[in-house]
Amino acid sequence: MPRLQPLRYPQRIEARYRRLLHGYVQDMKVDPKILTSDPRWRQDALADDLADLVDALRARFRGLWSESRIRAAVEDIYNRVNKQNVRQFNVQWSKVIPSVDPLPDPELKAAFVNENVRLIKSIDARYFDEIERLVLDAIANGTRVESLRDDIRGRYGVSKSRASLIARDQIGKVVGQMTRKRQQDAGVEQATWSTSLDERVRRTHREVEGRKYDLNGPGLLVGGKRLFPGQDYQCRCSSIPVVPGFI
C-alpha cells in the first residue's frame, strides 16, 4: 500500500523567528558600564538615580519595540508557518483526493499572536526588573563593580536563551495545532504519531513512534501525559492521518 508522509517541521521558519527574537534581545541589552560608572557608587543616595536610569532604558526600548511592531512580526511568522502547512497538506492529500482547500483558522491565529506577544514582552519585563534588582542589591550589599557587571552580562545570556526556547516551543505547538485541525476538517478520525527521527527526540516520544490515537480524543499517552504532536515542551513531532488504503 502507498504511504502518506508526515508534514515536515518548518526549521527555516523557526530559525527566522529565533533571529527575530535574538534581535529583540540585542536591542534591549544594557551596557553594564552605564550603570556602574557613577563616582557616587558607594552612596545609598545613588539608588534612586539608578532605578530611574533603568526605567529610562526600559522606556527607550519599549519605544523601539512597540506592541504593534511585535504583533506585526508575530503575525508574519504565523502566516509563513500557515503557508508552508497548507502547501504540505495539499501535497500529502493529493495522494488521497484530487484537491483540498484547507480552511483558515482565525481563532488559532489570534491565540498564537496573543500568546507570543505576551511571551516576547515578558522577556524584556523580566530582564529590566532583574537588572534593577541586581543594581540595588549591589549598592545595598557593597558588591564589587566588576562582579555586578558580570551579573548584568549573565542576565543578557539568560534572556537570549529564553528567546531561543520561545521560538522553538511556539513553532512546534502551532504546527501541531494547524495539522490536527486540518486533519479533522478533512474528516480524519485517527492519526499516527511521527517523530523527527533524530538524536534530539526525547525518549518518551521515540517510544510512541507509529502509534495510533484519536484526533477527537484526549491525545496519546506519552510519558504519563495525554498529548498531541507539538503540544509538549519544544516538541517537533508530527502526525500521519490514518486513511483507508494507505499506511
Please name which of 30, 106, 105, 27 lies closest in space to residue 70, comparing C-alpha atoms. 27
- Give tens-digit pLDDT for 167-221: 999 999 999 999 999 989 888 899 999 988 787 888 989 888 889 999 999 999 9
What pLDDT, on a 0 to 100 scale, did the predictor assign at position 38? Answer: 64
Q: Decide which of 97 and 21 is more confident.
A: 21
Instruction: Give 43 or 164, the one with higher predicted confidence.
Output: 164
Percent helix, strand and coil across the chain, each to the nearest 5: 60, 5, 30
For 59, the grid coordinates are: 522606556
Asked whether the predicted pLDDT for residue 18 surpasses 60, the reply is: yes
What separation in angstroms does the CA of 12 have from each of 112, 133, 147, 176? Answer: 18, 37, 38, 16
**Residue 239 pLDDT > 80, yes or no?**
yes
Confidence of residue 45 (pLDDT cuts 50, 70, 90): low
Say whether pLDDT at 71 is over 90.
yes
pLDDT in tens, 123-155: 999 999 999 999 889 888 888 888 999 999 999
Q: Is the pLDDT at 8 greater than 80, yes or no?
A: yes
Q: What pLDDT shows up at residue 39?
A: 61
Mean of pLDDT values over 236-241: 90
pLDDT reported for residue 134: 93
Q: What is the pLDDT of residue 60?
A: 96
Radius of gyration (C-alpha) of the chain in whole angstroms: 23
